[in-house]
Amino acid sequence: MKTILITGASSGIGKSTVELFAKKAWNVVATMRDPSKAKEFNWPENVLVLKLDVTNKKEILNARKKAEEKFGNIDVLVNNAGYALIGAIETCSEKQIRDQFETNFFGAVNVIKEFLPRMRERNSGTLINISSIAGKAVFPHYGYYCATKCSIEAVSEALWYNLIHTSVRVKIIEPGTIQTQFYAKGMEIGEIKIPFYEKTADKQLTGIKTEGRTDPKVIAELIYKAATDNSRKLRYHAGQFSTSLLLLRKILPDSAFMWLVRKKFNI
Ligand SMILES: NC(=O)c1ccc[n+]([C@@H]2O[C@H](COP(=O)([O-])OP(=O)(O)OC[C@H]3O[C@@H](n4cnc5c(N)ncnc54)[C@H](OP(=O)(O)O)[C@@H]3O)[C@@H](O)[C@H]2O)c1
């Protein structure tokens, strides 16, 4: 029986991924900052819930030890925990920017560094990092979030090269807009008030379409594909806007692509 460990499993994509892999009879280690949140989920016995805040190295180590004690080797690691800091570049405080990187970037890197050595030694395993369409295209007022996801793309691509002569696989998932807690509780707004940006920020934040977002189960299925296809393929995408946006980013010159972004965000 294979084992998967997922960070940020208390809601959204992480929770759907736990449920899909559990249904497929994997051993699942569902990690989250507050394990009491899992009480109401009624997850089956093959799901082990553990406390893990990705900004806390001790908790990462403890989670690895407890997961291995219960299930043995971890075959698949999903770096999913994350949130978005939004606001114009000037309106986000240094603490907010550092915290954003602590979770989305350093958190993911710390988890990789804890689990990768075992995979390398066993010459087996798959690392799956949840990026975003925002790792490929930059949106106004999402500058720091995009910076963290672009950084995850870079690290994942470098890892792909680092591990090319092993059997450890590296995968990047690029979701489009997904119907999760991300847009409600998962967003933090820049705390520095600067009147110059207020008008454009309101337009941009209220201009985003809320209908048609994709069910997180679709991303869970994509993660399952990435975990099991046994290929060297690096990038996978799914979800609202992902196909069109990634294609346009690839084929259009900056000037045309950025014009489209301005239209979309009313600026
Ligand atoms: N939704 C989208 O449109 C979308 C699109 C592209 C990419 N993504 C990415 O998908 C991933 C999952 O997001 P989601 O859409 O499923 O949103 P979500 O429902 O808000 O889930 C985010 C999860 O991350 C956890 N988390 C946040 N900070 C953490 C930390 N320091 N340590 C451990 N866990 C932490 C949250 O835990 P708590 O319950 O403790 O807050 C929650 O379980 C994120 O990396 C996000 O950037 C989302």
- Please identify every residue annotated as catalytic: 131, 145, 149
Are the beta carbons of 176 and 240 closer than 8 angstroms? yes
Fold of 3-264: Rossmann fold (3.40.50)
Q: Where are the domains of the chain?
A: 3-264
Which of 103, 132, 180 has most ligand 1 atoms within 8 Å of its beta carbon, as the pocket-test mutant?
A: 180
Are the beta carbons of 173 and 219 closer than 8 angstroms? yes
Q: Which helix (H) or strand (E) holds 100?
A: helix 94-101
Ligand 1 first shell, C-beta below 6 A: 7-8, 10-14, 32-34, 53-55, 80-83, 103, 107, 130, 132, 175, 177-178, 180-182, 186, 216
Q: What is the pLDDT along the chain (267 residues), one digit of tens a residue?
A: 999 999 999 999 999 999 999 999 999 999 999 999 999 999 999 999 999 999 999 999 999 999 999 999 999 999 999 999 999 999 999 999 999 999 999 999 999 999 999 999 999 999 999 999 999 999 999 999 999 999 999 999 999 999 999 999 999 999 999 999 999 888 899 999 999 998 777 666 655 667 889 999 999 999 999 999 999 999 999 999 999 999 999 999 999 999 999 998 888
Q: In what order do the strands lie in the sheet with 235-238?
A: 47-51, 27-32, 3-6, 76-79, 125-130, 168-175, 235-238
Biggest alpha carbon–alpha carbon distance for the chain:
57
Two tokens, residue 47 = 């799901």
Please state the pTM of the whole predicted model: 0.97
By C-alpha distance, which of 28, 50, 46, 26 is closest to 38? 50
